[in-house]
Amino acid sequence: MPTLPTPSAPPLDLLTTIRERRTVDLSALKPDSISRPVLEGLLEAANWAPSHGQTEPWRFVVFTGVGRAILARTLATSQALLKGQTEPDPEVLRAQLARQQLAPVWVMVAAEPSEKPRMPLHEEQWAVACAVQNLMLAARSQGIGSKWISNPPSLHPNTAASLGFAEGASMMGMLYLGYVQPGPADWPAGKRRPVSEKVRWIEDEPGL
């Protein structure tokens, strides 16, 4: 079974990892590649997400190196189809190819229910969202930034079909991954409103 490689820096405790997971802009990423063992470890973390009925519906396609051009062409074609065109505009394709080069790793995400689904689609999608969160938290523990994108081209049926997802798959967008520049000390800061503003406590039955 794949395991998470040992980080080069001391590992973060779980709550710190959760607090420090950030959406990282493409401009903040290093071009450095992420090794296959590290990526396999992140996917292994995703694979341990909960799923109702143990359906494990998460599916991923990982693009690195020159493989990113395949994703770029697929997304450009899906963008054209959204506009009622059959072929991507050359300028759009060039822009998409350049964009895919800004992160060393891209991951397409889908929920693939079984041929005879045991659970409603929304529960399968929730399970995939848990898998993606696992992956992003594991990435943070390795000093890797991430962002989850769900724009129209990434959700288009052409994208699903072109990338080999099963018929009936529900596209869940895509992630990019990359080490943050210039280093771990420059990790993007986050901010949240107090959790007390978002929680109500019910501890006693009224009137008793």
Percent of the chain with pLDDT strictly greater than 70: 92
DSSP 81-146: HHTT-SS--HHHHHHHHHHHTTSSEEEEEEE---SS-SS-HHHHHHHHHHHHHHHHHHHHHTTEEE
15 vs 198, which has greater pLDDT?
198
101 vs 53, which has greater pLDDT?
101
> How many independent structural domains does the chain possess?
1
Q: In angstroms, rounded to a whole number, what is the distance separating the alpha carbons of residues 153 and 104?
A: 20
SS3 208: coil
Beta-carbon neighbour count of residue 6 at 10 Å?
9
pLDDT in tens, 181-202: 876 556 778 888 999 999 999 9
Task: With respect to residue 205, please indicate whether it lies within any of the assigned structural domains.
Answer: no
Q: In angstroms, rounded to a whole number, what is the distance separating the alpha carbons of residues 82 and 91?
A: 16
Task: With respect to residue 2, please indicate whether it lies within any of the assigned structural domains.
Answer: no
Q: What is the CATH number of the domain that holds 166?
A: 3.40.109.10
pLDDT in tens, 138-183: 999 988 999 999 999 999 999 999 999 999 899 999 999 999 987 6
Q: In angstroms, rounded to a whole number, what is the distance separating the alpha carbons of residues 144 and 39?
A: 10
Full domain range(s) for residue 22: 14-198
Task: With respect to residue 6, please indicate whether it lies within any of the assigned structural domains.
Answer: no
Task: With respect to residue 44, please indicate whether it lies within any of the assigned structural domains.
Answer: yes
pTM value? Answer: 0.87
The secondary structure element, H or E, covering residue 160 is helix 157-162
Q: Which of 27-31, 68-72, 117-121 has the least mean pLDDT?
A: 117-121
Task: With respect to residue 82, please indicate whether it lies within any of the assigned structural domains.
Answer: yes
pLDDT in tens, 106-144: 999 999 987 777 888 899 999 999 999 999 999 999 889
Q: In angstroms, rounded to a whole number, what is the distance separating the alpha carbons of residues 155 and 172?
A: 7
Task: With respect to residue 194, please indicate whether it lies within any of the assigned structural domains.
Answer: yes
Q: In angstroms, rounded to a whole number, what is the distance separating the alpha carbons of residues 120 and 104?
A: 35
Q: Which residues contact 160 (CB under 8 A, 6 or more apart)?
A: 110, 169, 171
Task: With respect to residue 193, please indicate whether it lies within any of the assigned structural domains.
Answer: yes
**Which pLDDT score is estimated for 106?**
98
Which amino acid type is present at position 84?
G
**Which pLDDT score is estimated for 184?**
57
